[in-house]
Amino acid sequence: MPLRSVARVALICSAFAALLPATAAPVAATVENGTTTTACAEEDNVSLTLRGDGIRRMRIEALQPDYLDKVGNDVTKPDFSGCNFDGGAHPTDPAHRFRKRTVVLMDNAQWRIVGMTLPTFWRPQRVPVQVGKRKDSGFHLLQVFKKESGKALEAIVLYPSDGYWRIKPLPEARFGDGVYGSSFLLGPVEAAARPVVNIASIRIVPRPLAIQVRFTDGGSAVVRVDEISRARTALDVTLSKPTASAQPFAVLRSMYVAPDNADVSEVHWQSSPQAAAQVLPLPDVKSLQATQVRFGRSLPSKHNTSAPDIAFGGFDDSAR
């Protein structure tokens, strides 16, 4: 193995170790690859499903891609060249209509939280939301901005109506506001036109910042925002009910056209905390067991170049 590859594997092992709390009882999740082929760089053709028995806690991180220091030009514009649509709603999606609005739900020295209702959305659900003492409903996006030197930088987006999350670290100064890439579902995943998590209500507690999500099946999750920095955005998740392998507890959704045109092009994982880190190109992944897994890129992409890798780890069967 070339020395550069050895060094990179060592760095990944160190990153994985940081994901796992010292007192955690390590539990492995099964990762299954349901990726389909596409020529469209704006279509989520990547579905990486996570299943497991008895998992109550985990950590989810958005991490800067390893190649970020080599990037001079951050390509963030949409690319519809290989698509059968040119922006807006996907042609196969329903179009439920709403009154467009944007509401600032919290704005203090540290956080700015905004709710946004779009004029059309593919699902009709209107989820109740509480931020601090303020109550509202019907938002399609909840945006979390962290204040830095008085400037609000977006780091988290949650879509209440279908359960999708997007997270990213604070961007390097030369990249403006940065860009999202992969999204993920968290909770009891169900099949619809695409995978969804059905949310009954959301409550955001400001100090310390935590997003409490109640699912329609009666379970819930507390998502504590542990860190938002230039290096990562990290979420510590506690589930009210242990997972069961019959139903996925998370799905990473992303885009892959080619190794240099992808929001995720390879998978890094460890099968146990003591095992060596492994890596495979995304198309070669079928199913694997992992206590830590990182979905990312080592080759700079011509699409969403600065978008982060997404890592899952710290799987634990205790509620603590």
Return the H-helix or E-strand segment holding 161: none
Buried b or exposed e, range 190-221, using 16+ CB within 10 angstroms: beeebbbbbbbbbbbeeeebbbbbbbeeebbb
142-172 residue pLDDT tens:
999 999 988 999 999 999 999 999 999 998 8
Q: Is 163 part of any domain? A: no
Instruction: Count Cα atoms within 13 angstroms, Cβ side, for 216.
Output: 15
pLDDT tens digit sequence for 135-147: 999 999 999 999 9
pLDDT at 119: 96
| Residue 158: predicted pLDDT | 98
Residue 51 covered by a domain = yes
Does the pLDDT of residue 10 top 60, yes or no? no
Residue 4 pLDDT greater than 50, yes or no: no
Give long-range contacts, CB 8 A cutoff, 24+ apart: 80-85. 80/40, 80/41, 80/42, 81/41, 82/38, 82/39, 82/40, 82/41, 82/257, 83/39, 83/40, 83/41, 83/42, 83/43, 84/40, 85/42
Q: φ, ψ for residue 143 (rounded to 5)?
A: -110, 130
Nearest alpha-carbon partner for 308 in 199, 154, 89, 81: 154
How many domains does the chain divide into?
1
Tokens 């700079």: give the residue. Answer: 300
What pLDDT digit, counting tens, does each position of 233-271 carry? 999 999 999 999 999 999 999 999 999 999 999 999 999
Classified as helix, coil or strand, 174 is helix
Host domain of residue 39? 3-85+178-316
What pLDDT sits at residue 129? 98
In the prediction, which pLDDT does 73 show? 78
Q: For residue 144, is it within any domain? A: no
pLDDT at residue 3, as a whole number: 42
- In the prediction, which pLDDT does 19 show? 54
Assigned domain for 101 exists:
no
pLDDT tens digits along 195-227: 999 999 999 999 899 999 999 999 999 999 999
138 occurs within a structural domain? no
Average pLDDT over residues 16-24: 50
Residue 67 inside a domain? The answer is: yes
Q: 56-100, pLDDT tens digit by residue?
A: 999 999 999 999 888 877 887 888 888 887 766 666 778 999 999
- 236 in a domain, yes or no? yes
Residue 29: pLDDT band with limits 50, 70, 90: very high
pLDDT at position 303 is: 86
Predicted pLDDT of residue 22: 45
Residue 104 lies in a domain: no
pLDDT at res. 87: 65
pLDDT for 15 equals 55
Give the integer Cα–Cα distance in Å for 320 and 18.
19
